Amino acid sequence: MNDSLHSTVPFLAGTLVALLTVAALGALPRGQVSAQAQEAATPAARSGANQLLEEFRHVEVASVSDAAEQILGRKMYMSHRMQAIFLAKFAGFALTVSLKKDEGNKDPNALAGMMAAIDAGGKDSVYVMGVEDGADIAGMGGLMGTTMYSRGYAGAVVDGGVRDIAQLRRIGFPVYALGPVPSTSVGHYKFAGANIPLLCDGVPVEAGDIVVADADGVVVVPRAKAQEILALAQQMDFKEHSMYPFIEKFHSLEEAVRKFGRI
């Protein structure tokens, strides 16, 4: 593993990115985000944040989940309900959007804030959407996904349904959601805020948190603990991947656990 991440430099750089981003967002009306917020960071800070994400991309999500639970004392993984539309692996910074029920609304701008938030996101963003009671409502579809793809988003996680699967698969944009549904949120929901704390499949997410996903599922890493969780996850990954050939050679799980201390 890359020992440079165990130093304080990337941590301080990543913290600076977060602070500058929060400062930029704080100057905006509630529920809006700045497309230039990340550009406020220094090159060194951006480099540190990029390095942090790159390291998370090379760690298995199961190890990140175990590390987060050990360090935070709580589960930070989403349930089996959160399914990928195709197998993918990604890591990025959360851009949160919340939709609330507003059945029968005729307001043409009811979802305008959602669209503005999507257009304000950029490279390495992960769109994290909370849709109130949204299992049978498509929180996002092909138009939104194509926009995210074109802007360099890493992926999307929707606590609701998803539609236009063929288009999302065609462009290769990874989405985790509760399942495919053909419905629309138009006329049924209204925008309730962007870059605000929310629950996604029961897991707390704040703007700027790191979201990681692979074939095993989705985990949220609080930004303030990202460096610590990453270091432990890397150790767990190294042990586990060292155990595979040991088990293949000696045919014993007990011996492997005694030697490496990982299960």
What are the pLDDT digits (tens) for 187-239?
999 999 999 999 999 999 999 999 999 999 999 999 999 999 999 999 999 99
- Per cent of the chain over pLDDT 90 is 81
Q: What is the mean pLDDT of the chain?
A: 88
Quote the pTM value.
0.84
- pLDDT at position 10, please? 40
Task: Say if residue 20's pLDDT is above 70.
Answer: no
Helices marked H in 59-201 = 61-72, 112-120, 142-150, 165-171
CB-based burial, 133-161: b 16+ in 10 Å, e otherwise = ebeebbbbbbebbbbbbeeebbbbbbbbb
- Per cent of the chain over pLDDT 70 is 84
Higher pLDDT, 37 or 151: 151
- pLDDT confidence tier of residue 41, bands split at 50, 70 and 90: low
Task: Say if residue 249's pLDDT is above 50.
Answer: yes
CATH architecture of 60-223: 3-Layer(bba) Sandwich (3.50)
177: CB partners within 8 A, 6+ apart: 82, 83, 85, 139, 140, 156, 157, 158, 159, 160, 161, 162
Please tell me the least confidently modeled range out of 31-35, 217-221, 238-242, 257-261: 31-35
The strands making up 161-162's β-sheet, listed across from edge to edge, are 138-140, 161-162, 179-180
Domain residue ranges in the chain: 60-223, 231-260
